[in-house]
Amino acid sequence: GEDVEQSLFLSVREGDSSVINCTYTDSSSTYLYWYKQEPGAGLQLLTYIFSNMDMKQDQRLTVLLNKKDKHLSLRIADTQTGDSAIYFCAEIRESNTGKLIFGQGTTLQVKP
């Protein structure tokens, strides 16, 4: 199937770390992405990881990929109120034309 699944909601306190999880179904996925969507806005590309990598770090963001379990996670260190948004994981598959298959999004709420 085409399903990419995420938990719907995560609440953390400012300064804590946030971990957003995602599972995907296609083992042939080449790139996996994390996008951020703030209210009324389009999707902002946060980071991506190539399928032959286990981890990628970019400032406060850490992406972990477990290919065996088809599990992807995004860790946000020192979460700030400005990080409150919906986070989407998406996979792009070599076998298709490059279209992104999105999860349903995780709403991150950061409490002061």
Partner 1 sequence: EAGVAQSPRYKIIEKRQSVAFWCNPISGHATLYWYQQILGQGPKLLIQFQNNGVVDDSQLPKDRFSAERLKGVDSTLKIQPAKLEDSAVYLCASSLDRLHEQYFGPGTRLTVT
Q: Does 22 bind partner 1 (CB under 8 A)?
A: no
Q: How far is the CB of 100 from partner 1 (least distance, A)?
A: 6
Q: Does 92 bind partner 1 (CB under 8 A)?
A: yes
Terminal-to-terminal C-alpha distance of the chain? 40
Q: How far is the CB of 29 from partner 1 (least distance, A)?
A: 11
Pick the closest to residue 35 from 15, 55, 11, 6 (CA basis). Answer: 6
Angle at 86 between CA 83 and CA 91, to 5 degrees: 115
Tell me the helices (H) and strands (E) count for the chain, helix number first: 0, 11
CA gap 72, 42 in Å, rounded: 22
Give the x/- contact pattern for partner 1 in 28-67, rule: CB under 8 A: --xx-x-x----xxxxxx--x-------------------
Q: How far is the CB of 16 from partner 1 (least distance, A)?
A: 26
Please give the residue ranges that form the binding site for partner 1 (CB under 8 A): 4, 30-31, 33, 35, 40-45, 48, 88, 90, 92, 94, 96-100, 102-105
